[in-house]
Amino acid sequence: MSTGSLSITLATLADPTRRAILAQLAQGEATVTELAEPFEISLPAVSKHPKVLERAHLITRSRDAQWRPCCLNPEPLKDLADWLEHYRQFWEHSFDRLDEYLQELQAQESQQDGKD
C-alpha cells in the first residue's frame, strides 16, 4: 500500500463525524438522510462526509432512485491494521519489559538485603 493512501485513510478517519458514520454503516447500508439523523449539523455539511469517505475508498455508493445508499468498504481499514502491526511489538512487549525491569530491581534489592 502506498504512503499516500495511508495518509488519506488516516486524515479521513481523523474526523469524528466520519468515524460515527462508519460505525453506523457497520450496522448496514444507509442513505445520507439516515446518516445525518444523529448529527446536529446541516444536511449539506453531512453530505460532504460520504464524498470524503468515498474518495478514501472507505465506503462505496450505489444509486436507488433519489437515494444514494452508502456501504462500508473495509479494505483501507485492513491496510491501516497491517501498517499498525509493525508497531504491535511495542505495546505488547512493554509490559514484559516493565516486568523484567521490576524483577531486576527486586533482584538488586535482594542482593543488597544480603549484603547489609
Asked if 67 contacts 31 with a C-beta cutoff of 8 angstroms, the reply is: yes
Q: How many residues bind a copy of itself (CB under 8 A)?
A: 28
Residue 23 touches DNA, criterion: CB under 7 A: no
- C-beta closer to DNA: residue 16 or 114: 16
Rg (CA), the chain: 23
Any residues with CB less than 8 A from the CB of 88 and at least 6 apart, and which? none
- C-beta closer to a copy of itself: residue 99 or 109: 99
Sign of CA dihedral 16, 19, 21, 27: negative
Among 5, 20, 29, 34, binds DNA (CB under 7 A): 34
Among 37, 88, 97, 103, binds a copy of itself (CB under 8 A): 88
- C-beta closer to DNA: residue 52 or 77: 52
Binding at 31: pick from DNA, a copy of itself, none (beta carbon under 5-8 Å per type): DNA
Asked if 68 contacts 29 with a C-beta cutoff of 8 angstroms, the reply is: no
- C-beta closer to a copy of itself: residue 26 or 65: 26
Which DSSP state fits 90? H
